């Protein structure tokens, strides 16, 4: 086994790292996952919406949306982001992020699952703190 922690000791055996349990808010995210959370936060803040969402498709393209509350049309941010990805030709979702004070509607999560059965849905508070991963 190569020592991945110390490249200068590449030929030296290194025992596997211990697994440490951490709270979700401390979970290390990849840069692309952090990016969609940031995009969801900025979309929410830009329009002063209750929710902001972002999804990433199989090619790495991102789609952002804020919730819509018109007299004749109501859409959650997550559903709208999924609809934007689908209408742009996305075949699969790799990940989704929702920034909101409330929990997502089960139908919002179902919309994500239509295109991304295994896609994680990162739920974050408005300050960006990761609250859960669906």
Domain boundaries, the chain: 29-133
The per-residue pLDDT of the chain, averaged, comes to 86
pLDDT at 123: 96
Q: Enumerate residues 6+ apart whose C-beta is below 8 A from 64.
A: 39, 40, 42, 43, 52, 53, 54, 81
pLDDT at 6: 46
- Taking the model in full, what pTM does it have? 0.79
Architecture of domain 29-133: 3-Layer(aba) Sandwich (3.40)
């Amino acid at each position: 086994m190569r020592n991945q922690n110390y490249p200068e000791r590449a030929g030296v055996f290194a025992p596997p790292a211990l697994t440490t349990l951490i709270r979700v808010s401390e979970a290390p995210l990849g840069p692309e996952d952090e990016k969609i959370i940031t995009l969801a936060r900025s979309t929410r803040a830009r329009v002063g919406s209750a929710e902001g969402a972002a999804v990433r498709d199989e090619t790495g393209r991102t789609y952002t949306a804020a919730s819509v509350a018109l007299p004749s049309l109501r859409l959650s941010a997550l559903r709208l982001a999924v609809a934007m990805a689908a209408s742009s030709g996305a075949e699969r979702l790799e990940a989704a992020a929702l920034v909101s004070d409330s929990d997502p509607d089960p139908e919002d999560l179902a919309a994500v699952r239509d295109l991304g059965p295994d896609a994680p849905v990162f739920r974050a508070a408005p300050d960006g703190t990761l609250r859960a991963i669906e």
